Chain A
Amino acid sequence: VQIVQSGAELRKPGASLRISCKTSGYTFSSSSMHWVRQAPGQRLEWMGWINHVNGNIKYSEKFLGRITITRDTSANTTYMDLTALTSADTAMYYCAKQGAQWLAYLDSWGQGTLVTVSS
């Protein structure tokens, strides 16, 4: 299993960003992909996930209205869009594959995408 994320991003407050997460080595449509972030010195924080089996998407309430998770099944790629960025969104963002269909532990992680929000 390989999960490769897009590169570091620098954004100004109020801007938006898109992070991509390209996978290989397993059947893309057989699992779910999660988005987790880690602000400096903070614990890991779940943002949302997409079930590639049935297309269902779930977001953490904290990010509702700002986050959109989409996919391109032909490219085995998942995307996470985040809008209305503030300095509090400065963090490392990870996508991670779910380990089993109905159990949301994460058995493979991308390398992370560092997002810096600064004017």
Chain B
Amino acid sequence: EIVLTQSPATLSVSPGEGASLSCRASQGVHTNFAWYQQKPGQSPRLLIYGASVRATGVPARFGGSGSETEFTLTIDTLQSEDSAVYYCQQYDIWPWTFGQGTKVEIK
């Protein structure tokens, strides 16, 4: 199965700053790739699919890029409500898999 490795494990950022989260796939997945946000006590929420397409209702400060094995989620101008764990996911090869998550903390 495809292993997704996210980095860093934790990111501490001040409000108004930007953040860049990385996810590396153990083999190429084209752009069959998504990002999710999960806040404590909540279900995951789809942010990005197709590697770079924002889901409905997702603020423009969230952006995705990459293909095959290297993917990035960028968050411009972080706000307090962006504090969460972010997961990457590939849906190119079954079984679909998730990364282990990056926790974004707001200073």
**Which residues does A use to contact B, with CB under 8 Å?**
43-46, 58, 60-61, 94, 96, 99, 103-112
Q: Which residues of A contact B34 (CB under 8 A)?
A: 105-106
A111 and B43 within 8 A (CB): yes
Q: Which residues of B contact A60 (CB under 8 A)?
A: 95
Q: Which residues of A contact B55 (CB under 8 A)?
A: 99, 107
Could you tell me the distance in whole angstroms from the C-beta of B101 to the nearest C-beta in chain A?
6
B98 and A43 within 8 A (CB): yes
A105 and B46 within 8 A (CB): yes
Q: Which residues of B contact A61 (CB under 8 A)?
A: 95
**Which residues does B use to contact A, with CB under 8 Å?**
32, 34, 36, 43-46, 49-50, 55-56, 87, 89, 91, 94-101
Q: Which residues of B contact A110 (CB under 8 A)?
A: 43
A46 and B44 within 8 A (CB): no
Q: Complex formed: what's the CA distance from A111 to B41 in Å?
A: 9
Contact A112:B95 (CB < 8 A) given known A43-B87, A43-B101: no
Q: Which residues of A contact B95 (CB under 8 A)?
A: 46, 60-61
**Complex A-B, nearest 4 residue pairs according to Cβ-Cβ distance, in ascending order:** A104-B91, A109-B43, A105-B49, A105-B34
